Amino acid sequence: MDFELSREQKDVRQAAREFAIGELQDIAKDCDLNETFPRELITKAGGLGFLGAFIDEEYGGAGFGFLEHAIILEEFWRIDPGLGQQLCSVSFGAEEFLLFGSEEQRRRFLPPLVEGKKMMGFAITEPDAGSDTLSASTHAVLEGDEYRINGSKVMIGNGSVGDFLLVFCLTDPDEKKRAKRHSIIAVETDRAGYEADPMHGKMGLRASDTSSVFFSDVRVPKENLVGERGNGFSQLMAFFDRSRAYVSAHGVGLSQGALDQAVKHVRNRVQFGKKLGSFQATQFKIAEMATKVEMARTMTHKACTLLDKGKGNTDITAMAKMFSGRTAVEVVDEALQLHGGYGYFNDQDIERFYRAAKVLEIYEGAKEVEKIIIGRNVIGRL
């Protein structure tokens, strides 16, 4: 067991850190306030190999593993969760092409993502199908050589700004087994009948796009089916087994960023004639925060390393995601506490981090869903 990053991984981390400090830090607050991000940021990140770093070199990617992808995302989220989210979501769902897509699909869809020229999303959630993904009713009917898609999805990353989405569709409603009724279909957002409405007023991650999307007789060629018809749910679970590992990295980055800010503050702030950091109560808080962050990072790296060895473990990944999400919420809470009243105003970054943290316990599987997965596997089928 090697707990040390390789020389190359340390270089990747350093490069991502420099990019985040140079390109995200100064614009983060305005992007959050205005619910926007500069498009050139995406192309810049693509030019430096930071987007979809797990995508193979033959499809234009850096050819790294999930561990390097997680290391990059941790550095981005450490400086700004909102822009970190947007940079991550450029390739959100690309794993489906790598795992199940045809060679033609990989060559068509993946290179523009890693170059930052196009952005994708994965449209799963519906108004009546959140955690219960199998209730998704957006349906696709095969008519000749085309699928005709009708329905709607909510809270979809890149729904308004993305170039194509993977859409979790009901294709076989009469199939006896619920888990065999859905399929995943790629839909270009410039197709007739596609509409998107940005969802404003997000609590955090406001720099990133989240939209409602609508499909009204949207037609796509049958070649846009990704993987096997009726196998969508199982393909979706394979995706979550990967995406949860890097959502876990989001939690590590957010927590580390909150810890950095808290440390800086308690080193300088004087009350009762002493620096806050000199009180033992403060040292205990910082010690607990630092330990949680280190634990979350270790679990994230373990989940990613197993994935990179082809030994991905659903439980370990779910545990890492659940633990990192909780860590983010707890650490950012203490970090804001240490800032006192100043932390309650948006000229302090910690305010933005505080608002961003909670979603980590909700999306990509609410913490209760992770517990169901872990609990069931630990107890076994009864």
Q: Which is nearer to ligand FAD, 27 or 372 (CB)?
A: 372
Q: Could you tell me the two tokens for 111?
A: 């290179």
Q: Which is nearer to ligand FAD, 210 or 305 (CB)?
A: 210
In angstroms, the CA 64 to CA 52 distance is: 9
Could you say which residues in the range 268-297 bind ligand FAD, by CB under 6 A? none
Number of residues in contact with ligand FAD under rule CB under 6 A: 19
Q: Could you tell me the two tokens for 160?
A: 């308004």
In angstroms, the CA 256 to CA 281 distance is: 20
CB 180 within 8 A of CB 120: no
User: Which of 124, 304, 322, 356: binder of ligand FAD (CB under 6 A)?
Assistant: 124
Q: If you search the block for the tokens 């192309």, which residue do you land on?
A: 43
In angstroms, the CA 355 to CA 343 distance is: 12
Residue 307: burial class (beta carbons within 10 Å; 0-12, 13-18, 19+)? buried
DSSP state of 295: H
Strands 182-188, 164-170: pairing is: antiparallel
Asked if 48 interacts with ligand FAD (CB under 6 A), we say: no
Question: Rg (Cα) of the chain, in Å, rounded?
Answer: 21
Asked if 122 interacts with ligand FAD (CB under 6 A), we say: yes
User: Which of 43, 125, 137, 212: binder of ligand FAD (CB under 6 A)?
Assistant: 125
Q: 8 vs 12, 96, 108, 307, CA distance in Å?
A: 6, 27, 29, 19
Asked if 196 interacts with ligand FAD (CB under 6 A), we say: no
In angstroms, the CA 250 to CA 71 distance is: 9
Asked if 88 interacts with ligand FAD (CB under 6 A), we say: no
CB 147 within 8 A of CB 188: no
Assess whether 364 carries a catalytic annotation. Answer: yes
Site string for ligand FAD, 204-223 (x = CB under 6 A): -x----x-------------
Q: Which is nearer to ligand FAD, 155 or 320 (CB)?
A: 155
Asked if 156 interacts with ligand FAD (CB under 6 A), we say: yes
Asked if 366 interacts with ligand FAD (CB under 6 A), we say: yes
DSSP state of 342: G
Considering the candidates 35, 96, 126, 364, report the single residue annotated as catalytic.
364
Q: What is the helix (H) or strand (E) element at residue 350, kind and residue range?
A: helix 349-357
Asked if 121 interacts with ligand FAD (CB under 6 A), we say: yes
Could you say which residues in the range 322-361 bind ligand FAD, by CB under 6 A? 359
User: Which of 55, 123, 184, 306: binder of ligand FAD (CB under 6 A)?
Assistant: 123
Applying CB under 6 A, which part among 25-33, 43-51, 122-130, 325-333 lies near ligand FAD? 122-130
Asked if 234 interacts with ligand FAD (CB under 6 A), we say: no
Q: What is the DSSP string of 87-130?
A: HHHTTTTHHHHHHH--HHHHHHHHHHHHTTS--EEEE--BTTBS
In angstroms, the CA 94 to CA 80 distance is: 23
Q: Which residue is nearest to ligand FAD (CB)?
A: 130
Shortest approach of ligand FAD to residue 129 CB, angstroms? 7
User: Which of 25, 131, 216, 337: binder of ligand FAD (CB under 6 A)?
Assistant: 131
Q: Which is nearer to ligand FAD, 27 or 362 (CB)?
A: 362
Applying CB under 6 A, which part among 63-71, 124-132, 136-144, 347-355 lies near ligand FAD? 124-132
Residues that bind ligand FAD (CB under 6 A): 121-125, 130-131, 155-157, 202, 205, 210, 359, 362-363, 366, 368, 372
Q: Which residues are catalytic?
A: 364
